[in-house]
Amino acid sequence: MRVLACLLPMMVLTAAGAAVAQDKKDPAAVYKVEFRIRDGSDAAKNPRRYAMLIDTTGRGVFKIGERVPVATGSFQSGTGSVAVNPLVNTQFTYLDVGVSIEASVREEGNKVLLNSTLDISTVVEHKQQTGSMVLPNPTVAQIRIGVNALVPLGKPTMVASVDDPVTQHRFEVEAVVTKVD
């Protein structure tokens, strides 16, 4: 009876351990996702490359750029007159420009489903008119691309090609997804 009383808790613990081991899922696979963005209008230029590691349970986010001040107006000084130096009382708005990439991956057999959003923006300055004291407002040139593509592992794949109407350039986006061991 004592032997049975000692063995029973051990058998219960062993069975519980086996059940927990079966419930554990394999760790998520990790992939290296590399985007190559090329100005297709200028073959001599090297493509810009952006890479990140993403597992199949989450989403990768990559942002690089700067906050650019843009004058949005001016206000009067306390005396009721506009200041002599217009920059002293100028109001600014800050624009985020650069490259922003969000991506997620999911295994689909021997390929990977790549779901991503690429946002590329820059400030375009305009020339001041001769004799004018007014600075022209800049504009923001922006390309936003949404990609849902089934990509073969390790093979560079063109996932988007865009003609930019502002700059008259063609942007080509290539993705390479490789499994990290």
Are residues 170 and 41 in contact, defined by beta-carbon separation less than 8 angstroms? Answer: yes
**In the structure, what pLDDT confidence band is assigned to residue 66 with cuts at 50, 70 and 90?**
very high
Phi/psi at 162 (5° precision): -130, 135
Q: How far, in Å, CA of 21 to CA of 19, rounded? A: 5
pLDDT band at 12 (very low <50, low <70, confident <90, very high): very low
CA distance 55 to 106: 9
pLDDT digits (tens, 9 = 90+) for 47-64: 899 999 999 888 999 899
